[in-house]
Amino acid sequence: MNSKSFVAAKINFKNIKLAYIITAIVMGCILIQDIVMLIIGIAGGIGFDDNMTVSFGNYFFLLIILSAIFIPIFNFRKMMNLGAKRKDFFWGCFLNYLIMTAAVSLAGIILYYTYDQFMVSALYNGGTLDVLYWFGWIDNGPVIAFFQQFAFLFLLASFIHTLTAMQDKWYGWIADIILVGIISVFIPIAPLREALIFFFYMIIFANPFIQIPCCLILAAAIYSLNKLIFARKPI
């Protein structure tokens, strides 16, 4: 990793405006909805006991998902035409996801303890649908919860980026077929289903000192495939 990798990351951040716009629109709509519900609740002196709201911070996940799709699709050829090297793009993307998942994880923790708690106390007595709560990460405290969410989101970004990057090649289609096969074959067969459940348990619900390394090691292994993908990817 060198200074050119940081330049590549900076260019990537500038060229995912569509991801920013879509995420902003979605979060803006949710914010307007919350404001309207808050006004109705305060004016009517009521709460929504049977209702739950999705954590506002969880909508930032959309930014990571969209970025992991748009960067390999739209930015690779732009970067190559600008004279960037493939290895610089590889490390630049790595920095993009590193920074983005850290920022989203931090925002999620802050919003959980502020905005979400306010909305629950004011309106949604049923609670919030938040991965920090439902995955049990917040039970370990905000610091460990941050690293658990970071590790999981980094794995998610690495997986989506890698899968998207290979879609214009034959091995991309094979990867798609394998994924569909895993879902359709593993779920009906009990032993395979148990293996699939165990896998998701390890990357989501396991002890943080197991879950975090599992996610990071798997993310590194998946993302490293991009060296081969970008080396053979046409401009």
Reported as a pLDDT band with limits 50, 70 and 90, residue 162 is very high
The whole-number pLDDT of residue 44 equals 53
Q: Mean pLDDT score of the chain, rounded to an integer?
A: 88
CB count in 10 Å sphere of residue 233: 18
**What letter does residue 1 receive in the DSSP assignment?**
-
User: For residue 11, how far is the Cα from the chain centroid?
Assistant: 20
Of 46, 94, 27, give the one whose Cα is nearest residue 67. Answer: 94
The whole-number pLDDT of residue 50 equals 54
**CA–CA separation, 57 vs 37, rounded Å?**
18
Task: Assign 64 to helix, strand or coil.
Answer: helix
The whole-number pLDDT of residue 175 equals 87
More confident residue, 3 or 212: 212
**What letter does residue 136 receive in the DSSP assignment?**
S
pTM for the model stands at 0.91
| Residue 30 reports pLDDT greater than 80 | yes
Q: Tens of pLDDT along 36-70?
A: 877 776 655 555 555 667 788 899 999 999 999 99
Ramachandran sector of residue 206 (left: φ over 0; alpha: ψ -120 to 50; beta: rest): beta
The whole-number pLDDT of residue 151 equals 97
The whole-number pLDDT of residue 24 equals 96
Of 148, 161, 23, 149, give the one whose Cα is nearest residue 96. Answer: 161
| Site of tokens 């992991």 | 68
The whole-number pLDDT of residue 42 equals 60
The number of C-alpha atoms within 13 Å of 158 and in the hemisphere containing its C-beta is 24
